[in-house]
């Protein structure tokens, strides 16, 4: 059973100890944290009670800073009524960066044409030097913010403290309130007459450079808006608004703030939806509409062309892969990606070359299970060379409602050792002997040696294991596998596993039919050109007359050395 402690939990110093330690500089006094010392016989005066109130208010603010600053709930802002002059702020609450709470109990409608009171508050708070423009003529960028204030009310009788004193009325309560104010936001650089370019530059300042203009510690920003002659030209909720969360640690490494990236993502979605609803814009290109992209987000409609399997959204210097993902895993992927830095589109080609993006097609678990074995691999480079499975990728793109992208890490996620000891099979020599025998029987010893020279230590082990596993399969398999591996610049265990997956469960039955019906040595050429998986699918799908006809045409085109025609023969047969 817990007990309530009634005494202070701090060590109490006597006067002599305090004097010595202060002289030594080992005790630091917090003058702002002082509370009355109560004892029987002490006169209870207003000053002592105010001191106790201020002590607990300061402690409450300390705890508020630990929680973090931002909107706790509600406080959405939207235009209200005609004329673009009135704003509606929903009820809600939040904490300022200084740890002070702000609360709006009921929705508030603010008339920007009657903002003289807010200007007076600006002066009282020291946020502006003096009102520069009349309310009806205000033009420029402003932060709509909340600030905690208080006032006195409820007069009560104050009894005299002396013999000759008189009874008077004095306010007997301190009432906390929240003031709504507009704070000028001075955008960096010269004023840009193009509204869209101006918003792009402000987004870059805030989300990339971490700019906090117009956001003092004592206010909670809700929205950034631009006024023209007192009318709202545009309103953006997410440039300055932040949702509250646990305070993020700063390791001194320039770590990207998750709260900042969440706001950036919401701002990006808001702008993207606005662009998609503007028919005059047509095709949306990232560099034309944004200077900076969040590390993860939805793509505009038609960002990837199914016919050509090319994208037109990202700059050419960024490497883009297409991938399938379970739709129920998308929220976790978004959450994980929010800790990565944003994509700076203003970099030159050399700077963009270090970035990689994955375009994701969300699928239900059932569709993912049905397509993955047929795709062979869960990713495909966009804009790369033709692949046997491109028809499946086009089918998936055609049925996708919304694609998402995420920034790739340069290093794999998670803590990994810098080096490791490879665990080979017990009989390493037998494994290598078996793999070399498979490769030699296929006449591929030189090709296999070249791959080993380009492979990582883990890749070497994976290559030997894979070749040994192919000992009991078709002699065409080593040719097809090595041909596919040659297209990769660096070979590690993950690459070998990805290639091997295409020849795993479900592969082989169709190829056995093809080998039984085919005549001549053209099958080796088909394996070298990466046609083996397509042949296996044809062997599993086509009846015997159609299969024989397809094999005859394929033999003729390969004999003529026309690889593209051979691919077309396979595609036509599978339609």
* Alpha carbon distance 84, 73 (integer Å): 25
Looking at residue 506, its pLDDT comes to 64
| Torsion over CA: 390, 391, 392, 394 (sign) | positive
Q: What does the alpha-carbon distance between residue 188 and residue 185 come to, in Å, rounded to a whole number?
A: 9
- Looking at the DSSP assignment, which residues form a beta bridge with residue 220? 146
Task: Identify the DSSP state of 7.
Answer: S
Q: Do 535 and 510 contact (CB within 8 A), yes or no? A: yes
Q: How far is CA 9 from CA 60, 157, 277, in A?
A: 18, 39, 61
The residue whose two tokens read 């077309």 is: 568
| Cα–Cα distance, 497 to 304 (Å, whole number) | 28
* Mean per-residue pLDDT pooled into runs of 10, the chain (575 residues): 50 74 70 70 74 72 68 85 78 84 85 56 46 62 84 70 70 74 74 76 80 76 84 84 62 60 88 85 84 90 81 84 87 86 83 83 85 75 73 83 84 39 54 85 85 81 84 81 82 80 72 76 77 79 82 80 79 74
pLDDT at residue 282, as a whole number: 77
Beta strand segments in 382-451, E: 404-407
- What's the Cα-to-Cα distance from 471 to each of 202, 319, 433, 474, 498, rounded to whole Å? 62, 37, 11, 8, 19
Burial (CB count <10 Å: 0-12, 13-18, 19+), residue 337: buried
Q: Are 499 and 478 in contact (CB under 8 A)?
A: no
Nearest to 432 by CA among 463, 400, 399: 463
User: Does residue 112 contact residue 87 with C-beta atoms inside 8 Å?
Assistant: yes
pLDDT score recorded for residue 255:
54
CA distances 105 to 73, 151, 245, 262, Å, are 11, 17, 22, 26
C-beta of residue 459 within 8 angstroms of C-beta of residue 503 = no
Q: Which residues contact 345 (CB under 8 A, 6 or more apart)?
A: 286, 287, 290, 291, 292, 293, 315, 352
Helices first, then strands: H and E counts in the chain: 20, 19
| Sheet arrangement for strand 231-236 | 168-184, 140-158, 220-228, 231-236
Domain chopping of the chain, boundaries: 15-66, 68-157+169-247, 262-407, 428-574
Write down the residue that tokens 């606005």 correspond to.
Answer: 274
CA-CA distances (angstroms) from residue 540 to 227, 376, 479, 506? 67, 16, 21, 10
Query: What is the value of pTM for the model shown?
Result: 0.52
Q: Which helix (H) or strand (E) holds 323?
A: strand 319-326
Burial class of 62 by CB neighbour count within 10 A (0 to 12, 13 to 18, 19+): exposed
Instruction: Report helix angle 493-501 to 457-469, nearest 10.
Output: 30
Q: How confident is the model at residue 297, as a pLDDT?
A: 92
Neighbours of 573 (CB within 10 A): 19
Helix (H) or strand (E) holding 359: strand 356-363
Cα 245 to Cα 380: distance, rounded to the nearest angstrom:
37
pLDDT for the residue numbered 335: 87
């Amino acid at each position: 059973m817990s007990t309530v402690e009634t005494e202070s939990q701090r060590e109490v110093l006597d006067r002599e100890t305090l004097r010595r330690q202060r002289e030594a500089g080992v005790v630091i006094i917090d003058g702002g944290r002082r509370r009355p010392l109560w004892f029987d016989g002490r006169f209870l005066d207003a000053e002592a009670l105010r001191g106790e109130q201020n002590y607990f208010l300061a402690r409450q603010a300390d705890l508020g800073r630990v929680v973090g600053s931002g909107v706790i709930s509600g406080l959405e802002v939207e235009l209200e009524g005609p004329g673009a002059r009135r704003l509606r702020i929903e009820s809600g609450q939040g904490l300022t960066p200084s740890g002070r709470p702000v609360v709006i109990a009921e929705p508030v409608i603010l008339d920007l044409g009657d903002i003289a009171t807010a200007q007076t508050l600006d002066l009282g708070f020291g946020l502006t030097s003096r009102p520069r423009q009349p309310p009806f003529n205000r033009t420029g960028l402003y932060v709509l913010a909340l600030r905690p204030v208080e006032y006195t009310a409820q007069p009560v009788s104050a009894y005299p403290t002396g013999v000759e004193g008189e009874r008077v009325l004095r306010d007997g309560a301190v009432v906390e309130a929240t003031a709504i104010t507009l704070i000028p936001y001075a955008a960096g650089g010269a004023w840009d007459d193009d509204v869209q370019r101006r918003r792009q530059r402000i987004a870059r300042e805030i989300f990339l450079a971490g700019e906090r203009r117009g956001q003092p510690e004592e206010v909670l920003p809700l929205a950034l808006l631009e006024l023209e002659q007192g009318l709202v030209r545009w309103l953006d909720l997410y440039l300055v608004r932040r949702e509250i969360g646990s305070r993020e640690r700063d390791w001194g490494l320039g770590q990207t703030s998750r709260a900042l990236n969440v706001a950036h993502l919401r701002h990006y979605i808001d702008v993207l939806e606005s662009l998609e609803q503007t028919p005059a814009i047509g095709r949306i290109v990232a560099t034309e509409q944004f200077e900076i992209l969040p590390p993860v987000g939805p793509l505009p409609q038609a960002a990837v062309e199914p016919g050509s399997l090319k994208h037109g959204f990202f700059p050419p210097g960024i490497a883009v892969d297409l991938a399938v993902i379970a739709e129920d895993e998308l929220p976790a992927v978004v959450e994980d990606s929010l800790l990565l830095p944003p994509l700076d589109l203003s970099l030159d080609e050399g700077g963009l070359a270090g970035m990689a993006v994955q375009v994701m097609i969300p699928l239900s678990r059932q569709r993912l299970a049905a397509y993955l074995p047929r795709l062979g691999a869960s990713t495909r480079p966009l804009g790369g060379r033709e692949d046997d499975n491109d028809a499946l990728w086009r089918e998936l793109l055609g049925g996708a409602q919304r694609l998402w992208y995420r920034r790739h890490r340069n290093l794999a996620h998670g803590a990994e050792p810098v080096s490791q000891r490879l665990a080979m099979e017990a009989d390493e020599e037998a494994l290598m002997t078996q793999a070399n025998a498979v490769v030699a029987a296929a006449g591929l010893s030189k090709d296999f040696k070249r791959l080993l020279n380009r492979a990582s230590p883990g890749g070497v082990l994976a290559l030997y294991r894979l070749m040994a596993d192919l000992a009991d399969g078709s002699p065409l398999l080593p040719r097809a596998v090595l041909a596919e591996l040659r297209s990769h610049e660096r070979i590690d265990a993950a690459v070998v596993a990805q290639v091997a997956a295409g020849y795993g469960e479900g592969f082989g039955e169709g190829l056995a039919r093809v080998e039984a019906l085919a005549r001549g040595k053209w099958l080796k050429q088909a394996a070298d050109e990466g046609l083996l998986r397509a042949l296996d699918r044809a062997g599993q799908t086509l009846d015997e007359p159609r299969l024989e006809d397809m094999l005859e045409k394929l033999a003729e085109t390969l004999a003529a050395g026309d690889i593209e025609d051979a691919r077309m023969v396979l595609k036509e047969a599978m339609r």
